């Protein structure tokens, strides 16, 4: 009986066969190893790389370029104007090790895909990466995705494409235009005004807008006017308000520019009219009942997100974009790992994919019911100037509700994600429906009044989102049931004084809105523009509004005189349109650069000869330098004004500028001065700090309390309303005063903040302890 296992040979022939078999297997293994080379995917950020690698699996390695790897040199102009504006690109300093590592990974990769962000900047980064890694830009090496989800990433890998060189040219043209203005005009400002300044194609126009608005405010003359309201009743009904709208057939107005309006200029006129009005018989002239539908707003674009986040959350543009980037790149969701929560946050489109519409419809039907879902998906028109390259900003899945993600997101991430989630969900819902009632009232033969009421009949999209312009849901304004001919009784007259107000200073929301409306820059550039003009000292943010500094006025006036185009709104907007045409392949970048550069260079030469040294006005304080005895002067720095010795550089003494409020400290009798936190928020404290610790967020007033004689404080609410109250906690005027609840809330928030900071510090100490234990 043969006991040899099947397939095994004995003797010398068998040994030779075994050796041959082993050699064959070794070769096979070597070939297998060669075949299992991975595909390299290069993205921009490490957070994104981590999320994408999880979705693609073991056959892929995902690396981050950390943004741009090549750029124009900082130490040189870097553009050869004489030879078709040829740019000189160099590897960015400090990126050498990263470039070396990427080249090594590329050498060991079977395929290479460049997956930088899906915009012009991302296209240019891919183009530079292709140069560094030795790839042909015309080969299928570029992949793009609008959201970091598994289906989107896997679909992108299936459809690689060549690099879009027209978009690369548009980015290069923008970069070179900014370099021409910055590197040619900024040295002029250094020579004529002071070192460290800069001018920019977009930033200078933005500063001009803020300066022009400030001049409007300074030149504005306020006019007094009055309005008259009445509290009315029908029989024993609840009171409702009606407002005087017509007198002698003329519309009651703020100003009378054409002789067809009626204006109450002063108290005497208002009281005389109110007295006459109160003597008239009031009759319902007309009742109009109707149904009003309010449609939901479109999903967010970059611009509308920045505006709504500023308006509703108080976020500055930079903070909004930083948080949005984090949500896009991926957040750790427990066992699910890093997950992208929103689509790409740099977009000017309100378009939504059909897949997202269908998913939203299913979610809304399940959670809200059929009456909240329109028969056909809501379609929103994108502006004519929009590039429409990407979808609107939306959650990658409505199933990721803010409630479910609360434990994974920090406070600010959750606020912004909730805003995006609610806005998108609302955009796919039915309109809100209101029953409205408009009542026209006749008072004698001279006067006409109007009362308006509304009641929410069907919540529609307001079930999840209050709306772009409001922070709270609208309240019902109810009117009693009335019919034509009903007589009304006057319960109270309400004459009210007003003053015309100047245009408001820009805040983050209104500045972004204006830049978008005037087509200055692109939404993705708004946040860095706002940061730059503050860093240069042209503008400062005071109480969430932008105010130009003296330096800002000086620079803008100089640019207006000698470089009209640089600070011209229409010229800058037209340049943006031409950059769009380059991206669409309609215009060559060198043509645009030549048309801009030739007249600019001539103007620069003339301006250099014509402009003398500009002396900035110096504000001398009454504070003496304790080192050399000179009177210190007020200087403008990155974080606001400060005092500096005019003897610089011999004497370098500086100190904070303390603005006296004219009020004495209740603790020690010293002056209460205006101070600022590290983040620039204004508060008030005793000049004798740290010996005296008196501080308050509210503005001290020189006005005294009638009851106890203590100074008053002015509290500012977020909606702009102010409230005066006595600074003495024990004053009888403070009993049941509404400010008490507000101050208690502020104390609770401060305590909660201190507690969170203490917990973070304790956690950090504990983590350090673990690390040192592991190392030991």
pLDDT in tens, 56-80: 988 999 999 988 899 999 889 999 9
pLDDT at residue 33, rounded to an integer: 46
| pLDDT surpasses 50 at 669 | yes
SS3 53: helix
Q: Residue for token digits 């609610």? A: 422
pLDDT band with cut points at 50, 70 and 90 for residue 289: very high
The SS3 of residue 489 is strand
pTM over 0.85: no
Catalytic residue among 113, 344, 506, 597: 344
Determine contact, residues 549/217, Cβ cutoff 8 Å.
Answer: no
CB atoms within 10 A of CB 568: 16
Sheet holding 659-664, edge to edge: 659-664, 671-676, 682-686, 695-696
- Average pLDDT across the chain, whole number: 86
pLDDT above 60 for 83: yes
Residue of 115, 121, 131, 126 whose CA lies nearest to 175: 121
Question: Residue 1: what pLDDT?
Answer: 35
Residue 36 has pLDDT above 80, yes or no: no
pLDDT at 771 over 80: no
Asked if residue 38 has pLDDT above 80, the reply is yes
pLDDT exceeds cutoff 70 at 687: yes
Angle, nearest 10°, between helix axes 589-610 and 165-192?
Answer: 0
Give yes or no for residue 758 having a pLDDT over 60.
Answer: yes
Length of the chain: 776
What Cα–Cα distance (Å) separates residue 707 from each residue in 49, 264, 527, 543, 732? 66, 35, 49, 31, 7
- pLDDT value at position 291? 94
Dihedrals φ, ψ of 720, to 5°? 95, -10
Least confident window among 387-396, 570-579, 699-708: 387-396
Average pLDDT over residues 9-34: 44
Residue 699: pLDDT over 80: yes
* pLDDT over threshold 50, residue 171: yes
**Axis crossing angle, helix 523-535 with helix 317-329, rounded to the nearest 10:** 130
Chain CA centroid to CA 557, Å: 28
Supply the pLDDT for residue 469.
59
Q: Confidence class of residue 383 from pLDDT cuts 50, 70 and 90?
A: low
What does residue 250 show for φ and ψ, rounded to 5 degrees? -105, 145
Mean pLDDT of 152-180: 93
The two three-digit tokens of residue 197, written as one number: 């300044």
Rounded to 5°, angle at Cα 307 from 197 and 410? 95
Confidence at residue 648, expressed as pLDDT on a 0 to 100 scale: 84
Taking only the tens place, the pLDDT of each residue in 220-271 is 988 889 999 999 999 888 899 999 999 999 999 988 777 789 999 999 999 9
pLDDT at 718: 63
Q: CB of 427 within 8 A of CB of 296?
A: yes
Task: Compute the half-sphere exposure of residue 98: CA atoms within 13 Å on the CB side of its CA.
Answer: 19
pLDDT in tens, 592-609: 999 999 988 998 888 888
**How much is the pLDDT for 544?**
85
User: Interhelix angle for 120-133 vs 165-192, to 10°?
Assistant: 100
**Where does the pLDDT of residue 104 fall: very low under 50, low under 70, confident under 90, or very high at 90 and above?**
very high
For residue 29, pLDDT beyond 50: no
19-28, 621-630, 675-684: which is most confident: 621-630
Say which range, 277-281, 719-723, 770-774, has the weakest mean pLDDT: 770-774
Once rounded to an integer, what is the mean pLDDT over residues 476-498? 90
pLDDT at 774 over 80: no
Average pLDDT over residues 673-681: 77
344 carries an active-site annotation: yes
Backbone angles phi, psi at 289, to 5 degrees: -105, 135
Q: Which residues pair with 339 in a beta bridge?
A: 331
Burial class (CB in 10 A: 0-12, 13-18, 19+), 612: exposed
Asked if the model's pLDDT at residue 480 lies above 80, the reply is yes
* pLDDT over 50 at 408, yes or no: yes
pLDDT tens-digit readout, 420-469: 999 999 999 999 999 999 999 999 999 999 999 999 999 999 999 876 65
What pLDDT sits at residue 167? 94
């Amino acid at each position: 009986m043969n006991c040899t296992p099947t397939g095994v040979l004995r003797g010398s022939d068998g040994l030779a066969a075994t050796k041959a078999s082993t050699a064959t297997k070794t070769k096979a293994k070597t070939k297998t190893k060669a075949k299992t080379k991975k595909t390299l995917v290069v993205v921009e950020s490490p957070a994104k790389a981590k999320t994408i690698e999880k979705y693609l699996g073991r056959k892929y390695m995902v690396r981050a370029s950390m943004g741009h790897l090549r750029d124009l040199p900082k130490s040189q102009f870097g553009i050869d104007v004489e030879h078709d504006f040829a740019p000189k690109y160099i590897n960015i300093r400090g990126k050498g090790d990263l470039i070396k590592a990427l080249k090594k990974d590329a050498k060991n990769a079977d395929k290479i895909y460049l997956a930088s962000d899906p915009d012009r900047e991302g296209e240019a980064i891919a183009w530079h990466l292709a140069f560094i890694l030795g790839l042909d830009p015309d080969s299928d090496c570029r992949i793009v995705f609008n959201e970091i989800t598994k289906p989107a990433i896997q679909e992108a890998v299936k459809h690689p494409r060549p690099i879009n060189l027209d978009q690369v040219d548009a980015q290069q043209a923008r970069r070179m235009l900014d370099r021409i203005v910055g590197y040619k005009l900024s040295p002029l400002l250094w020579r004529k005004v002071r070192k460290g300044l800069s001018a920019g194609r977009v930033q200078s126009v933005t500063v001009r807008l803020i300066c022009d608005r400030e001049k409007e405010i300074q030149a504005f003359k306020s006019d007094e006017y009055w309005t008259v309201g009445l509290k009315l009743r029908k029989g024993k009904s609840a009171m409702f308000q009606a407002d005087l709208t017509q007198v002698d057939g003329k519309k009651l107005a703020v100003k009378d520019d054409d002789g067809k309006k009626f204006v109450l200029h002063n108290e005497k006129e208002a009281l005389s009219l109110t007295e006459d009005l109160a003597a008239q018989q009031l009759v319902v002239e007309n009742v109009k009942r109707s149904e009003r539908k309010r449609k939901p707003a479109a999903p967010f674009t970059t611009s509308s997100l920045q505006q709504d986040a500023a308006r509703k959350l108080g976020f500055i543009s930079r903070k909004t974009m930083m948080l949005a980037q984090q949500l896009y790149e991926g957040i750790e969701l427990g066992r699910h790992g890093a997950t992208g929560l929103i689509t790409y946050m740099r977009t000017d489109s309100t378009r939504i994919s059909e897949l997202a519409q269908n998913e939203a419809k299913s979610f809304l039907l399940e959670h809200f019911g059929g009456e909240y879902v329109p028969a056909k998906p809501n379609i929103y028109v994108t502006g004519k100037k929009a590039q429409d390259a990407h979808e609107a900003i939306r959650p990658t899945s409505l199933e990721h509700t803010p409630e479910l993600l609360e434990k994974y997101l920090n406070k600010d991430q959750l606020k912004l994600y909730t805003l995006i989630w609610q806005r998108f969900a609302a955009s796919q819902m039915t309109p809100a429906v209101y029953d409205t009632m408009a009542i026209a009232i006749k008072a004698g033969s001279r006067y006409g009044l109007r009362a308006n009421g509304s009641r929410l009949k069907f919540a529609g999209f307001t079930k999840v989102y209050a709306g772009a312009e409001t922070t709270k849901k609208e309240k019902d304004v109810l009117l009693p049931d009335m019919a034509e001919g009903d007589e009304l009784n006057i319960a109270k007259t309400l004459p009210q004084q007003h003053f015309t107000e100047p245009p408001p200073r820009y805040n983050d929301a209104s500045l972004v809105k204006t830049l978008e409306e005037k087509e200055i820059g692109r939404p993705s550039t708004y946040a860095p523009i706002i940061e730059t003009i503050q860093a240069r000292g042209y503008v400062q943010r005071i109480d969430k509004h932008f105010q130009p500094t003296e330096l800002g006025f000086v620079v803008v006036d100089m640019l207006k005189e000698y470089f009209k185009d640089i600070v011209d709104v229409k010229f800058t907007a037209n340049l943006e349109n031409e950059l769009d045409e380059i991206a669409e392949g309609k215009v060559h970048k060198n043509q645009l650069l030549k048309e801009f550069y030739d007249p600019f260079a001539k103007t620069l030469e003339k301006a250099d000869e014509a402009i003398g040294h500009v002396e900035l006005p110096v504000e001398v304080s009454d504070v003496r330098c304790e080192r050399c005895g000179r009177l210190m002067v007020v200087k403008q720095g990155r974080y606001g004004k400060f005092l500096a010795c005019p003897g610089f550089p011999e004497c370098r003494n500086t100190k904070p500028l303390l603005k006296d409020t004219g009020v004495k400290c209740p603790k020690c009798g010293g002056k209460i001065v205006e101070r600022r936190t590290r983040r620039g928020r204004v508060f008030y404290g005793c000049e004798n700090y740290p010996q005296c610790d008196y501080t308050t967020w509210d503005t001290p007033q020189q006005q005294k309390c009638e009851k106890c004689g203590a100074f008053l404080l002015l509290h500012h609410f977020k909606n702009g309303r102010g409230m005066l109250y006595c600074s003495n906690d024990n004053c009888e005027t403070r009993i049941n005063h509404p400010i008490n609840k507000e101050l208690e809330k502020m104390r609770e928030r401060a305590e909660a903040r201190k507690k969170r900071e203490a917990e973070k510090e304790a956690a950090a100490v504990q983590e350090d302890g673990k690390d040192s234990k592991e190392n030991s």
